[in-house]
């Protein structure tokens, strides 16, 4: 059983319910579960076309959405990270000394085999167990 489990929560997909059930089944009796959403930052020259206030508003909305997603789950802590999904998840897992990450994966297509999905990146770089849910 795992003492600290991160659930990678995409706010645009319905993956959370299944992941929460799996996390609870894998959690040690006194373990912690963190529902983590990563807010992807704007890249390159796109930053020049978006006002900082709009970015701040989007971050605040994401924070509200992740908290709303787990509001009826008192044993789960909502966490909002900023950065690249795969990297932010693995860095945060190291920071909190997580021993398991649950991440969702969709049916891979050719693009995923060439570029790699978030799930594949997490599985390759995490220093802990990774459970990939379809």
- The most distant pair of C-alpha atoms in the chain lies apart, rounded to whole Å, by 48
d(CA 63, CA 48): 24
Domain 2-133 superfamily per CATH: HUPs (3.40.50.620)
**Which pLDDT value is given to residue 81?**
97
Whether pTM exceeds 0.75: yes
d(CA 16, CA 46): 30
Query: pLDDT in tens for each of the 134 residues of the chain?
Result: 999 999 999 887 666 788 999 999 999 999 999 999 999 888 888 888 899 999 999 999 999 999 999 999 999 999 999 999 999 999 999 999 999 999 988 766 655 554 458 888 999 999 999 998 87
d(CA 122, CA 103): 8
């Amino acid at each position: 059983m795992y003492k600290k489990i991160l659930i990678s929560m995409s706010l645009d997909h319905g993956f959370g319910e299944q992941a929460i059930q799996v996390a609870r089944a894998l959690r040690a009796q006194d373990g912690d579960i963190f529902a983590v959403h990563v807010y992807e930052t704007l890249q390159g020259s796109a930053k020049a076309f978006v006002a900082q206030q709009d970015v701040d508003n989007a971050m605040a909305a994401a924070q509200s959405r992740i908290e709303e997603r787990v509001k009826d789950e008192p044993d789960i802590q909502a966490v909002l990270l900023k950065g690249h999904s795969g990297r932010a998840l693995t860095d945060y897992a190291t920071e909190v000394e997580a021993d398991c990450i649950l991440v969702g994966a969709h049916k891979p297509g050719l693009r995923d085999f060439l570029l790699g999905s978030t799930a594949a990146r997490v599985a390759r770089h995490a220093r802990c167990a990774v459970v990939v849910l379809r």
